[in-house]
Amino acid sequence: MNDSPLALLGGEPAITTPGPHFTWPPIAEPDREAVAAQLEAAVSIPDRSGVVAELEGALASYLGVQHVVTTCTGTAALHSMYAAAGIGPGDEVIVPALTFHATATPLFHLGAHAVLADVDESGQLDLDDAARRITARTKAMVAVHLWGMPEDMDALVSFTDAHNLMLLEDGSHAHGATWNSKRAGTFGAAAAFSLNGPKPLSAGEGGFVATDDSELYFRVLLHGQYNKRCRREIPANHPLARYAVTGMGLKLRIHPLAAALAHAQLPRLDGYLAGRQATAARMCAALDEVPGVRMPRVSASAGPSWYALPLRYEPAELGGLPLQRFFDAVHAEGATEADQPGSTRPLATHPLFQNPGALLPGYAERRNPAPGDFPGAEHVYTTTLKLPVWHLDEDVPLADAYTQAIVKVAAHHEDLL
């Protein structure tokens, strides 16, 4: 096949299987049964009962934490986590400069500030840069395990300990990922996760906060789970119990049908991850020696969830071929779901971060980040080529076809120059 001319130049494509090539979550009989049964059982759950209690209990034991509170989205989980952590007006939270925007945006709604810190070659927090950005107002730092590759949690825990910062996690790419066999989302004071459609564990729409800290737990409840839940779970003699009826006034509950889906998915998560691990290893082995693409470095301590396989593009090894041209050729080969990250991008490139004041009047005065301030994030973003990671044996031929498409384009790169 490598002898055939590039499909972009009129040759035979490497992949002819019609798309979509990767869909998530995998829907099976247990999901259909769980959602159908939930439809009969309850479609609104105002307290910690039924499928909400079951899902929260299952997540808490899966992660090994004391408390889990489900929410309507991951964004809401992050909002509740920051609010519960006591992040308020003027406070600063160190956020990686390259992540999905919702890691940071809830801070705008608490009057707080996301202080962006640059990332290194592999997209992980650059702790030297983070250290330079600490001020007297810095309260916390949030770890994002980008594409399911766990951050170096030994380094992050010692960093936040040394600087007396609260460590928080956004585990939205990393359900079930581990660092030294401990699950992502269990290293800090609290973690927020998305259960959105494509995430490793999916409710369709949903999220949750995980914590061992009961005070934080009560405040998460007060943030978005008003009335019955608060009344039943916050002890009557707790100083905040008198706020139970209104909480902080937001309503961020998960939908029971979504909870039923995530609850039905969870027993299969470890199987998904094992399958992805095998596929990722196979794809990395196939691409390891290919000029123009570098495999992610996986620490011996890391057990990634492989939310995607992020390759680093090295144009210098391909005669300077621009990434876009490389993408066009890979897509023409039929690997249509190889992509450049879309919404996960340097936060400083969003108008909301450059000029929040136009939408959020409280933010008009501050010096805001500008493109160019975060060269590490820009570099990683503009050189990332992301591949889906399948979990089923039956998808191995598709995974092989994707890697072969890349091998083919790299081999013929001179034809594209």
Ligand X SMILES: *Cc1c(COP(=O)(O)O)cnc(C)c1O
Nearer to ligand X, 292 or 310 (CB): 310
Neighbours of 16 (CB within 10 A): 9
Q: Which amino acid is at 245?
A: V
The CB-of-99 to ligand X minimum distance in angstroms stands at: 5
The CB-of-198 to ligand X minimum distance in angstroms stands at: 8
At 251, is the secondary structure helix, strand, or coil? strand
Nearer to ligand X, 102 or 190 (CB): 102
Closest residue to ligand X, based on beta-carbon distance: 74
Q: Which H/E stretch holds residue 276? A: helix 256-287
The CB-of-210 to ligand X minimum distance in angstroms stands at: 14
Do residues 340 and 323 touch, judged by C-beta distance below 8 A? Answer: yes
State the pairing for strand pair 309-313/302-303. unpaired
Distance of CA 171 to the CA centre of its chain: 6
Q: Which amino acid is at 85?
A: A
Nearer to ligand X, 306 or 326 (CB): 306
Q: Which candidate, 59, 12, 361, places its Cα nearest to that of 210?
A: 59
- Angle separating helix axes 50-63 and 29-41, nearest 10 degrees: 140
List of residues contacting ligand X (CB under 6 A): 73-75, 99-100, 102-103, 144, 170, 172-173, 194, 196, 207
Nearer to ligand X, 63 or 293 (CB): 63
* Cα separation, 60 vs 319, whole angstroms: 51
Q: Which candidate, 317, 276, 261, places its Cα nearest to that of 32?
A: 261
Nearer to ligand X, 80 or 404 (CB): 80
Do residues 206 and 258 touch, judged by C-beta distance below 8 A? Answer: yes
The CB-of-147 to ligand X minimum distance in angstroms stands at: 9
Nearer to ligand X, 113 or 173 (CB): 173
The CB-of-417 to ligand X minimum distance in angstroms stands at: 36
Nearer to ligand X, 203 or 283 (CB): 203
The CB-of-307 to ligand X minimum distance in angstroms stands at: 8
Nearer to ligand X, 60 or 144 (CB): 144
Do residues 267 and 62 touch, judged by C-beta distance below 8 A? Answer: no
The CB-of-156 to ligand X minimum distance in angstroms stands at: 16
Beta strands in 22-177 (DSSP E): 67-71, 92-96, 98-100, 113-117, 138-144, 166-170
Distances (CA, A) of 146 to 113, 198, 199, 334: 21, 14, 12, 26
* Cα separation, 271 vs 338, whole angstroms: 24
The CB-of-171 to ligand X minimum distance in angstroms stands at: 8
